[in-house]
Structure 1
Amino acid sequence: MTVCADIHAQFKLSYGDFALDVDLQLPSQGVTALFGPSGSGKSTLLRCIAGLERAGGKLSVKGEIWQDEKIFIPTHQRPIGYVFQEANLFPHLSVKANLNYGFKRQPYRHDGFSLDEIIDLLGIAHLLNRKPDRLSGGEKQRVAIARALAVNPRLLLMDEPLAALDLARKREILPFLEKLHEALEMPVIYVTHAPNEVARLADHLVVLNQGKLQSAGPLNETFSQVDLPQQASDAGSAIIEARIAAIQPEWHLALARFAGGEIWIRDLSFSPGQKVRFQVMARDVSLALSADHRSSIANVLQAVVDQISDGDHPGIAIVRLKIGENFILSRLTQRSLHTLGVTEGDPVWAQIKSAAIVE
């Protein structure tokens, strides 16, 4: 996959024991997730892009210089929308007044979504006359996102917008973020340390560690790298994007086809041709030297061993498998790996439990 790198961000910043030193080429479409543990520099990098941190370096967006040795466009003049961890709504204004405050005061031309379209997209029409103290945490964040979009920015920045929400509120707002993902043409840079948010929302992944770039690239290729911290654990996983090829209503199953293979999954009211995305847990992928279609495992795919790494315990190995243009991971014991006798480049059969694949 070729990245259309229309955003170039190069920053150096240090304070105390922390130093940020990155040079990134980011795509001009889709959602780029800045991912990494707490303290890795994700929010600092986002603030540098917004101009909230005065770091040394360069920033250009679609050929327009926002910062270099001679130029520094201040935050209020950058055509961005910014969503913080906290909604930061004006408590004395209604939802509608909060939205209008930003909509009327920004110099950018509103040639994208209308305010009514934004309200409909985020499902907040019934909240317009309420004040923030009458909103749930998820509702407040939806209003905050709508306010950020109301200025019709050329770049949307989101700094862990779900971090302050409990699990129920996160589940409430994630479908709206997925709708945004499908609807927005502008680039979105999304800070998170939650793998499930990356899996559901991101197209491109940037992994930071201690202020430096660890890895960057398309989601499936980058998220499945075995040297990412979470991949060595029991939570290791990979992402597959596919389209529904067939439905078996009598078994409540759907066939999802992707570059390299096809997988039977639970039918969640899918339609033929529908685009879907799945997270495949490494612990639910076993390996075999030959295809055995007599087992209860419905999905058996030809693969090639791409990389082998140690897990989070001396007895565990993590194997990255290439299936067509996609990658998945398998978590197995070192003993099983030794018994199979496979090394990098060897063909194998990956056995994937359909129940382990989630939308």
Structure 2
Amino acid sequence: MRTSSVGVFKIATRGPGDVSGLMAMIGSGEIEPASILAILGKTEGNGGVNDFTREYAVAALCTALAPRLGLSAHEVEQRIAFVMSGGTEGVLSPHITVFTRSEVAQRPPGISGKRLSIGMAHTRDFLPEELGRAAQITETAKAVKAAMEDAGITETADVHFVQIKCPLLTSERVEAAAARGHKTATTSAYSSMAYSRGASALGVAVALGEVASDIQDDDVLRRYDLFSSVASTSSGIELMHNVVIVLGNSASSASRFEIGHSVMDDAIDAAAVVSALRSVGLGVQLGVAPQAAAGRELVNIFAKAEASPDGSVRGFRHTMLEDTDISSTRHARAAVGGLIAGLAGTGAVYVSGGAEHQGPAGGGPVAVIARLPY
């Protein structure tokens, strides 16, 4: 088994097209372009079907990285996994998190235990009528297992976060299916985002043994008792396959970083956030960035958020689903983002809306990456 060194860099952005921070770190030698495996970002769009800040950010990054890698911008997009999550409501701050991976001969002295590892895989392209259905679940489960192997992770318990970029339906895609005599899970582009996210999350759950493998089409967006505790899925218009990024800890990693996670039962579950921080040795002091005496440092927090589908939080009614002026996903991102930012001491955290089958209904996974002193 190869030994890999994984790096994690959080970089603030002034807008979706701002690549100056990344280019500065490349220029200083802190980041080697050829080692970049994935970039996760928060952009200041609306997070909806027409949120083009996501595409803009990816285009800007690919254009900037192309000459550094000796590739075309299109080839850069095929090589690096880009996942842009639109929506920085409330105190959430736009930023990108860059993950690098390079092979090393052996672990340096002082590195012990399991450390952060990252792996990536792709599904095949889906037909429009397969989105939100069993085919997407099955193919995603295969890709999760492939990404685990790529990461050198052998135990499902060592997987702490699975980020997936998945497709959505457009009117053209719905019409193409109909022309071939097939019906799609929905004809609404916005609703298709939820179906695709949900099926992708259930694929993670199947791969990791969190649920049985006999999930039916009708279970998606209906059986909310079926979910993954580590899945984070985000839908976009720019692809027709799933990009799967697995983050976990591996004995084959020589990284200075470690990842842990917990699961929020609802949108105000501060205890789960604290538990996730403590899982990587970080204490919590209100108003101060979490840290430990051993010199560990918070790098970033990744979480999912959604409005509880039953219309209440701990017995009290919420209005996120009834507000026709603002999408419920935007309400949820702002609420959960504020909660996590208060505990983390920073608004530069990755909180993504739409948590269908990602944690219990109304809740969601929360993962923390910490930098260790050695």
Aligning the two structures, in what range does the TM-score lie when normalised by the shorter sequence?
Answer: under 0.3
- In our comparison, the structure showing a higher alpha carbon Rg is 1
Is the helix fraction higher in 1 or 2?
Answer: 2
Q: What is the TM-score with the length of structure 2 in the denominator? A: 0.27
Q: What is the TM-score with the length of structure 1 in the denominator? A: 0.27
Is the strand fraction higher in 1 or 2?
Answer: 1
